[in-house]
Amino acid sequence: MDRIQIGLLIYWVLISLISVAVCAWDKRQAKKGGRRVPENTLLLLCVLGGSAAFWAAMYRFHHKTRKPKFYLGVPAILLAQVAIAIWLLVR
């Protein structure tokens, strides 16, 4: 692996961990009636590369699973990211 690939892998792991942590924290805040994370921030984490981890966390924590923006949007973002990755690898 070259430095760019290692850097991308580290970035992906970090954004995935952040996405799971923010999902868990928002669910906790929802239960407690505390200050919530804006939905656009959650979706931004997905767009930035945390979509697979966030999707898993959604169902693990039963969070945002009834909102079409999330149960349709997060998999759509993930599919787009996979398609882009495949395209980059093939070309």
Chain segment 20-76, per-residue pLDDT in tens: 999 999 999 999 999 999 999 999 999 999 999 999 999 999 999 999 999 999 999
Q: How many residues does the structure list for the chain?
A: 91
CB contact at 8 A, 61 and 23: yes
pTM of the complete model = 0.93
User: Using CA atoms, how far apart are residues 52 and 32, in angstroms rounded to an integer?
Assistant: 26
Asked if pLDDT for residue 1 goes beyond 90, the answer is: no
The pair of three-digit structure tokens given for residue 15, joined into one six-digit string: 């954004």
For the purposes of burial, counting CB atoms within 10 Å of the CB of 18, is it exposed (0-12), middle (13-18) or buried (19 or more)? middle
> Looking at residue 91, what DSSP letter applies?
-
